[in-house]
């Protein structure tokens, strides 16, 4: 029996085409609450977020991020960042930020908002140019952009389950 949560996970797709209609602040707040509800190693919660809805800033990102052309029509994006210093379990911050990113994607799908994950970390050039554009301090690492918008495309669920990738008890 599938539940609503499972349905939202199984129907989540990367959406790269948007209507341009602005997102309201309440939706963005829900997405950020979902992000901050992600699991975190040692509960260190190393994440910080930059909500980007300034047209000039969104339009500047594709000049250095080769997979971000959809930002030219997206009304918003969230940059997930990680604190990388003075953490009790420093090596786990990327997993924590990945979980926060995934929560944004799943929550966006639940709300009927299109989204796509645009990796930044660990590519030095992308991290540096993102840091420069958004004036991010050195102790914070840009991890991923999530493009957001009302979808202008509909994608059918993708069946990715593959039993041959599942092993029980041993390889």
* pLDDT tens digits for range 152-170: 999 999 999 999 999 999 9
Asked if the structure places residue 7 within a domain, the reply is: no
**Domain containing 123 — which CATH number?**
3.40.109.10
Q: Is 133 helix (H, G, I), strand (E, B) or coil?
A: helix
Cα(14)–Cα(105) distance, integer angstroms: 9
Provide the percentage of residues in the chain whose pLDDT is more than 90: 95
Lowest mean pLDDT among 1-5, 50-54, 142-146: 1-5
pLDDT digits (tens, 9 = 90+) for 15-73: 999 999 999 999 999 999 999 999 999 999 999 999 999 999 999 999 999 999 999 99
Asked if the structure places residue 8 within a domain, the reply is: no
Spatial CA neighbour of 84 closest among 30, 139, 42: 139
Cα(26)–Cα(87) distance, integer angstroms: 31
- This prediction has a pTM of 0.96
Report how far apart, in Å, the C-alpha atoms of 84 and of each of 64, 81, 161 are.
Answer: 23, 9, 34
pLDDT of residue 3: 85
| Contact yes or no for 15/115 (Cβ under 8 A) | yes
Which residue blocks in the chain are alpha helix, DSSP H? Answer: 4-11, 25-35, 55-60, 93-110, 124-134
Asked if the structure places residue 168 within a domain, the reply is: no
Residue 70's domain comprises 21-153
Domain count, the chain: 1
């Amino acid at each position: 029996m599938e539940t609503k949560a499972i349905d939202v996970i199984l129907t989540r797709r990367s959406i790269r085409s948007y209507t341009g209609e602005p997102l309201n602040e309440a939706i963005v707040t829900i997405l950020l609450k979902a992000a901050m509800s992600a699991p975190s190693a040692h509960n260190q919660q190393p994440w910080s977020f930059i909500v980007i809805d300034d047209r000039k800033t969104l339009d500047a990102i594709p000049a250095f991020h080769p997979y971000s052309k959809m930002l030219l029509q997206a009304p918003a994006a969230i940059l997930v960042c990680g604190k990388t210093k003075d953490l009790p379990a420093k090596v786990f911050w990327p997993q924590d930020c990945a979980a926060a990113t995934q929560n944004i994607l799943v929550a966006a799908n639940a709300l009927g908002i299109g989204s796509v994950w645009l990796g930044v970390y660990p590519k030095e050039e992308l991290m540096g140019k993102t840091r420069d554009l958004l004036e991010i301090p050195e102790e914070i690492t840009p991890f991923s952009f999530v493009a957001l918008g009302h979808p202008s495309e509909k994608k059918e669920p993708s069946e990715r389950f593959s039993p041959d990738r599942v092993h029980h008890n041993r390889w």
